[in-house]
């Protein structure tokens, strides 16, 4: 009797679990480090902030659970209200950086001799540290010695104390922030303009499109990806505003230039602060506001993907 089977043994040797599930598992293996870091450095701190916001804690002693008290106090806190309004002003006026950046980019996209020099000059504010920008603008705004009042004096306008006036100070800081932010948007648009299709422009010319119409119907639609990125970074930049405020006014005069992130720092970590729970509650509110925008960004990216 032959011991070998009639048909040759085609059964492959048993494969390992990984080999059998390779296609499904490998992407997750590559994603694992990112997911771990995201969970550890993003999700976990967010969870912790939310938990701490229910406590009364000075960061040293025992934390005492007080439920929603921090949030109740927030609703009645005039400084919080001021910060919230200021955040709104930042959001609104910071968006001016987008059209500003676009027009400077269009201007710099001309072919003129020496345009490279102008270009690099316009890049300049973007490279500067926010702290330096803040210092430069504080000097610019100085009530007696500042350049702004020097110029205003030439045309016969009275001296203004931009950073010392509670009604003007926030706008003064936003204007300072717009300088580097506009440069940032300009860079984005310059890159976008490189990708504009010359054939479409040609076609537009044949159909008699010129000037504004050319810009509005031919150029701007093609810059949509750049506009989207500019919008994202500007919104996030506005919500994160901190360094300029800290350098230029330190939240003053009388706390009128605080925004949520600065107020959170003051309450939780500054020299006279250390109300961790209250600071965390402010952080949670700021997070919720950001969440609106994050959700919008994710949704628009997702619908973009689906549209293809």
Q: Determine if 143 is a binding residue for other proteins (CB under 8 A).
A: yes
Q: Distance between CA 183 and CA 98 in Å, rounded?
A: 10
Angle between helices 97-108 and 169-194 (to 10 degrees): 40
Q: Determine if 274 is a binding residue for other proteins (CB under 8 A).
A: yes
Residue span binding other proteins (CB under 8 A) among the ranges 4-12, 159-167, 195-203, 211-219: 159-167
Helix, strand or coil, per DSSP, at residue 200: helix
Q: Determine if 275 is a binding residue for other proteins (CB under 8 A).
A: yes
Q: Give, for 56, the enclosing helix (H) or strand (E).
A: strand 55-56
Nearest distance from C-beta of residue 161 to other proteins, angstroms? 5
Tokens at 185, concatenated: 């948007």
Place of tokens 């070998």: 4
Nearest distance from C-beta of residue 86 to other proteins, angstroms? 16
Q: Distance between CA 146 and CA 231 in Å, rounded?
A: 33
Is there a contact between 239 and 87 (Cβ–Cβ < 8 Å)?
yes
- DSSP code per residue over 28-83: HHHHHHHHHHHIIIIIHHHHHHHHHTTEE--SSS--EE-TTHHHHHHHT-HHHHHH
Q: Determine if 202 is a binding residue for other proteins (CB under 8 A).
A: no
- By CB under 8 A, name the one of 12, 27, 61, 307 that touches other proteins: 61
**Could you tell me which of 162, 159, 184, 183 has the C-alpha nearest to residue 173?**
162
Decide whether 91 or 142 has the Cβ nearer to other proteins.
142
Decide whether 138 or 182 has the Cβ nearer to other proteins.
138
Q: Determine if 253 is a binding residue for other proteins (CB under 8 A).
A: yes
**Could you tell me which of 178, 174, 301, 143 has the C-alpha nearest to residue 228?**
301
Decide whether 181 or 246 has the Cβ nearer to other proteins.
246
Nearest distance from C-beta of residue 152 to other proteins, angstroms? 15
Q: Determine if 163 is a binding residue for other proteins (CB under 8 A).
A: yes
Interacting residues of 151 by C-beta distance below 8 A, sequence separation 6+: none
Inter-CA distances, 153 with 16, 144, 175, Å: 82, 10, 20
Residue span binding other proteins (CB under 8 A) among the ranges 34-42, 81-89, 137-145, 217-225: 137-145
- By CB under 8 A, name the one of 266, 277, 282, 286 that touches other proteins: 266
Nearest distance from C-beta of residue 189 to other proteins, angstroms? 36
- By CB under 8 A, name the one of 59, 66, 191, 215 that touches other proteins: 59
- By CB under 8 A, name the one of 30, 41, 212, 272 that touches other proteins: 272
Residue span binding other proteins (CB under 8 A) among the ranges 85-93, 126-134, 158-166, 184-192: 158-166
**Could you tell me which of 266, 293, 272, 288 has the C-alpha nearest to residue 80?**
266
Q: Determine if 6 is a binding residue for other proteins (CB under 8 A).
A: no
Q: How many residues bind other proteins (CB under 8 A)?
A: 26
Residue span binding other proteins (CB under 8 A) among the ranges 6-14, 38-46, 56-64, 85-93: 56-64
Q: Distance between CA 290 and CA 70 in Å, rounded?
A: 20
Q: Determine if 171 is a binding residue for other proteins (CB under 8 A).
A: no
Q: Pairing relation of β-strands 64-65 and 55-56?
A: antiparallel
The backbone region for 251, taken as left when phi is positive above 0, alpha when psi lies in -120 to 50, beta otherwise, is left
Fill in the per-residue mask, 79 to 108: x = in contact with other proteins (CB under 8 A), - = not in contact.
Answer: ------------------------------
Helices and strands (H and E) in the chain: how many: 17, 2
Contact residues for other proteins, defined by CB under 8 A: 58-61, 73, 78, 142-144, 161, 163-164, 249-250, 252-255, 266, 269-275
């Amino acid at each position: 009797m032959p011991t070998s089977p009639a048909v040759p043994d085609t059964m492959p040797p048993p494969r390992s679990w990984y080999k059998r599930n390779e296609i499904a598992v490998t992407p997750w293996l590559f994603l694992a480090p990112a997911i771990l870091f995201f969970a550890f450095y993003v999700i976990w701190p967010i969870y912790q902030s939310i938990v701490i916001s229910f406590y009364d804690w000075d960061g040293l002693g025992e934390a005492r659970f007080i439920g929603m008290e921090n949030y109740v106090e927030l609703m009645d806190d005039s400084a919080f209200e001021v910060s919230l309004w200021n955040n709104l002003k930042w959001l609104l006026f910071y968006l001016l950086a987008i059209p500003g950046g676009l027009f400077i980019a269009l201007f710099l996209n001309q072919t003129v001799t020496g345009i490279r020099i102008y270009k690099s000059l316009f890049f300049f504010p973007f490279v500067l540290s926010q702290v330096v920008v803040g210092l430069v603008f504080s000097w610019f705004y100085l009530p007696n010695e500042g350049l702004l009042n020097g110029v205003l004096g030439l045309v016969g306008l009275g001296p203004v104390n931009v950073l010392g006036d509670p009604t003007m100070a926030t706008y003064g800081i936003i204007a300072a922030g717009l300088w580097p932010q506009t440069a940032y948007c300009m860079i984005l648009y310059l890159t976008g303009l490189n990708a504009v299709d010359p054939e479409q422009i040609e076609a537009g010319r044949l159909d008699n499109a010129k000037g504004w119409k050319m810009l509005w119907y031919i150029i701007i639609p093609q810059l949509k990806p750049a506009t989207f990125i500019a919008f994202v970074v500007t919104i996030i930049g506005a919500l994160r505003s901190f360094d300029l405020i800290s350098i230029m006014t330190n939240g003053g005069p009388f706390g009128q230039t605080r925004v949520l992130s600065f107020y959170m720092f003051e309450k939780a970590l500054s020299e006279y602060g250390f109300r961790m729970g209250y600071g965390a509650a402010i952080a949670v509110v700021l997070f919720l506001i950001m969440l609106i925008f994050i959700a919008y960004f994710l949704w628009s990216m997702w619908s973009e993907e689906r549209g293809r």
